[in-house]
Amino acid sequence: MTRRQLNKLLGSALCMTAMIFAQAHAKNHNSARNESLNLTDRFVMTGAPVRAFTLPMKQHTQASLRHSSHAASRKTVAGPPTSTDDVPAPLDGCQEIDVGNTYGAPTAPTGTLRCFQFITEPSNKITVYVADLPAGEQHDVHLFEVANDGTWNPLDSVLGIDSFKVTQAIRAKPTGILLLIDAQQAVGGATFQFQATTTSKFDGWEANDSLTRATHLTGNIYLRAYLDNANDFDYYSIAPPATQSSTSLTFTGSSRQVIERQGEDGTWISLANNRKYQIRVPAGDTIHIRVYSPLGDALPEDQYWIKTSDPLNRAGIDQYSSNENLSGLAPGLPRVAREIDVGVTVWDEAGNVPQGAGEHVTIEVYDSDGRKGTPTLLAQTDGLTNAQGSFAAKLDIGPCRGPGIEGPHRFNTYSVPAEYWDITYVPKAFVVAYTDNNRRIEWPGIVFFTHVCDERYRGYRP
């Protein structure tokens, strides 16, 4: 990796240090180490292994960092994996640490940094927590992957004066990881804490354990995810469609999970489980939310769902028919006797954009006289739309009931000789569909059909 590449990636005093140290390690790897390079001038060590703390670290909520009690949610790696062909040798001048342990170490003074290294197993999400950095000082935190040839590949960086930082990466193979804590503006000597964790069980939205690494989503969304360990935070930044002045937000999860939305003043506001909120979002703005377990007792099998939608969306019936064997003589279309197939698509308020997956749709079928009398409910069903914003169902409406029944009336075919049928029917039966957001009954959410009650064949006699 060249100096120019590193400068572009980091933009800090770490750049020169990383290049020199990587070059030194590459030479050492080829048994041609340049002894004139004094790494301790750049990597400040404690003179002894860093101290493992028994007290927990701090977490996003300023509560204590919890060690997971679920073995499946985190793997602790005390050394390299069985196969060492895929991982580099330890780097000189960089303290080795164990995944899962919490450590304390003194901060470095300005212009120097602390270096720690560890090995991960395949298909791991790596999360490093750094806490208790001195107020008003800037300690930038960087993660690097070290290749066998000594090349350093940057994975993540968190800059600034925050006293608590989270860095993350996902790697598909065993690899060596460097944690560098770079003192940009610091006195040095203050004790900070840090912990590296890994997990092999995580959802497809990771890594998103901090606001700077939030999963960015555009439009109205419906997602399913879970917290992969006791310390997991899931952050999302959602940009609703610009055509919406407000957005409906619903969270459905277990009692061990909490969802919060970031307010305009930067504070986090708790939202109730399984309740719909309408949030005003000016065009171009973003909704920031996070999910976590306050008590650290959430299990990976505790899935949760987040749904956003247009509060004024509407359902449109785009398919209604029956495959029953009828004479086809009763007036009106379509003709339905005992069951009807209905297809619905949910659109935005303007009727231009399908709303995607997860919209709850209700379909109801009625007999009516077409006037202001009370219609009779024949069948009802509900469900969630698919990724295309559609929902389809077959409803058993049964025999005719209630108002609007006509006949029997006699109808005949146009064949020669003609055949005759006596038919009883409801000419003003109808289907309605609506969403939870919008229960208005209007076109295209209402369509009429002919409900055939009875057909009796009369043969060739008029």
Instruction: State yes or no: pLDDT of 431 exceeds 50.
Output: yes
**Same domain for 234 and 323?**
no
Least confident of 44-48, 115-119, 236-240, 361-365: 44-48
Q: Report if residue 417 sits inside a domain.
A: yes
For residue 113, the tally of other CB atoms under 10 A from its CB is 25
Give me the mean pLDDT over the 60-82 stretch.
32
pTM: 0.68
How far apart are the two ends of the chain, measured CA to CA in Å? 95
Q: Report if residue 206 sits inside a domain.
A: no
Which of 175, 199, 223 delimits the end of a domain? 199
Give me the mean pLDDT over the 248-252 stretch.
93
DSSP 268-334: EEEE-TT-EEEEE--TT--EEEEEE-TTS---TT-EEEEEEE-TT-EEEEEEEE------S-SSSSS
Which pair of structure tokens corresponds to residue 404? 């609007």
**Same domain for 284 and 334?**
no
**Same domain for 76 and 142?**
yes
pLDDT band at 400 (very low <50, low <70, confident <90, very high): very high
Identify the CATH number of the domain in which residue 409 sits.
2.60.40.1930
Q: Tell me: the pLDDT tens digits for 273-327?
A: 999 899 988 877 899 999 999 988 888 778 999 999 888 888 999 999 999 999 9
Task: Quote the mean pLDDT of the chain.
Answer: 80
Which of 282, 309, 336 delimits the end of a domain? 309
**Same domain for 431 and 451?**
yes
Q: Report if residue 122 sits inside a domain.
A: yes
**Same domain for 264 and 167?**
no
Identify the CATH number of the domain in which residue 261 sits.
2.60.120.380
Which of 178, 199, 220 delimits the end of a domain? 199
Question: Amino acid identity of 317?
Answer: I
pLDDT at 356: 84
Q: Report if residue 251 sits inside a domain.
A: yes
Q: What's the total number of domains in the chain?
A: 3
Q: Report if residue 205 sits inside a domain.
A: no
**Same domain for 283 and 409?**
no
**Same domain for 106 and 242?**
no
Q: How far apart are CA 284 and CA 289, in angstroms?
A: 16
Q: How far apart are CA 311 and CA 231, in angstroms?
A: 34
Q: Give me the domain span that covers residue 191.
A: 3-199
pLDDT at 34: 29
Q: Tell me: the pLDDT tens digits for 118-160?
A: 998 877 899 999 999 999 999 999 999 988 777 889 999 999 9
**Same domain for 449 and 345?**
yes
For residue 105, the tally of other CB atoms under 10 A from its CB is 21
**Same domain for 386 and 445?**
yes
**Same domain for 162 and 51?**
yes
Instruction: State yes or no: pLDDT of 28 exceeds 60.
Output: no
Q: Which burial class, exposed, middle or buried, applies to 396 when counting CB atoms under 10 A from its CB (0-12, 13-18, 19+)?
A: exposed
Identify the CATH number of the domain in which residue 108 sits.
2.60.120.1050
Q: Report if residue 91 sits inside a domain.
A: yes
**Same domain for 303 and 176?**
no
Q: Report if residue 204 sits inside a domain.
A: no
**Same domain for 72 and 171?**
yes
Q: Report if residue 293 sits inside a domain.
A: yes
Do 132 and 181 touch, CB atoms closer than 8 A?
no
Tell me the percentage of the chain whose pLDDT exceeds 70.
80
